[in-house]
Amino acid sequence: MKSWAVILAILALTVVFVSGCGGGGDAAEERNGDAERGGPVGQADAAACASNRNIVSAAAQQYYYTEGAYPTSIQALVPGYLQSVPACPAGGTYALWESTATCSIHGK
């Protein structure tokens, strides 16, 4: 009889513990918070943004070697050097100075 009481107590504690681990926020809040904290989603966004900046920088260098001057904007690279201007996954905007692309959120 005593073993049933122990099993019941362990089961009750397990239910309380598992229900407390849920997290009550919605997915959008969790994603934004993760990006701000630099969690896995924030790290993935930063890596994708770095890749986009590298692509824009390479296109600007190609433009320079072909045209003899740096592009005045990222839009000048479309469609000859880029199919379209990439978008920062975290919502930042890209700027170009000579062949260096920067992001308003992730820097350079």
pLDDT at 36: 53
> What distances in angstroms separate CA 68 from CA 39, 60, 65, 83, one per listed residue?
42, 11, 6, 21
Report the DSSP beta bridge partners of residue 97. Answer: 100
Q: Which residues contact 71 (CB under 8 A, 6 or more apart)?
A: 60, 63, 64, 77, 96
36-108: what fold?
Answer: Pantoate--beta-alanine Ligase; Chain: A,domain 2 (3.30.1300)
Confidence (pLDDT) at 108? 79
Residue 33 banded pLDDT, cuts 50, 70, 90: very low
pLDDT tens-digit readout, 44-81: 999 999 999 999 999 999 999 999 999 999 999 999 99
- Give the model's pLDDT for residue 23: 46
Backbone phi, then psi, for 107, in 5-degree steps?
80, -140
CB of 39 within 8 A of CB of 90?
A: no
If you average pLDDT over residues 84-103, what whole number do you get?
92
DSSP annotation string for 35-68 = HHHT-HHHHHHHHHHHHHHHHHHHHHHHHHHHHS
| Those residues with Cβ within 8 angstroms of residue 100's Cβ, 6 or more apart along the chain or in another chain | 57, 60, 108
